[in-house]
Amino acid sequence: MSGGAAGRGGQLTVVGLGPGADDQMTPQARAAVEAADILFGYGPYLARIPPKPGQARHPSDNREEIARAGAALEAAANGARVAMVSGGDPGVFAMAAAVCEAIEHGPAAWRELELEIVPGVTAMLAVAARCGAPLGHDFCALSLSDNLKPWALVEHRLQLAAQAGFVIALYNPVSRARPWQLGRAFELLRQALPGTVPVVFGRAAGRADERITLTTLAQADPAQADMATCIVIGTGETRIVPRPGRTPLVYAPRSAAAAP
- The candidate with the shortest Cα–Cα distance to 168, out of 176, 156, 157, is 157
- For position 97 contacting a second copy by CB under 8 A, the verdict is yes
For a second copy, the binding residues in 188-207 under the rule CB under 8 A are 206
Q: How far apart are CA 249 and CA 26, in angstroms?
A: 27
Choose one: 21-29, 36-44, 72-80, 185-193; the region binding a second copy (CB under 8 A): 21-29
Give the shortest CB-231-to-a second copy separation in angstroms. Answer: 14
Choose one: 54-62, 172-180, 218-226, 235-243; the region binding a second copy (CB under 8 A): 235-243
Among 41, 91, 198, 202, binds a second copy (CB under 8 A): 91
Among 37, 78, 101, 216, binds a second copy (CB under 8 A): 101
> Quick one: which H or E segment has residue 104?
helix 95-105
By beta-carbon proximity to a second copy, the closer residue of 51 and 245 is 245
> Quick one: which H or E segment has residue 71?
helix 65-77
Q: How far apart are CA 215 and CA 208, in angstroms?
A: 22
Q: How far apart are CA 88 and CA 119, in angstroms?
A: 8
Task: Tell me the sheet residues that pair with 115.
Answer: 12
Q: Tell me the torsion sign for CA atoms 151, 156, 157, 161.
A: positive
- For position 89 contacting a second copy by CB under 8 A, the verdict is yes
Residues 219, 222, 223, 224: what is their CA dihedral angle, to the nearest 10 degrees?
A: 70
Amino acid making up residue 28: Q
Give the shortest CB-91-to-a second copy separation in angstroms. Answer: 4
Q: How far apart are CA 202 and CA 127, in angstroms?
A: 5
- For position 120 contacting a second copy by CB under 8 A, the verdict is yes
- For position 19 contacting a second copy by CB under 8 A, the verdict is yes
For a second copy, the binding residues in 131-170 under the rule CB under 8 A are 132-143, 148-150, 152-153, 155-157, 160-161, 163-166
Give the shortest CB-180-to-a second copy separation in angstroms. Answer: 18
CA distances from 241 to 53, 111, 253 (A): 50, 51, 12
- For position 249 contacting a second copy by CB under 8 A, the verdict is yes
For a second copy, the binding residues in 65-84 under the rule CB under 8 A are 65
Give the shortest CB-46-to-a second copy separation in angstroms. Answer: 20
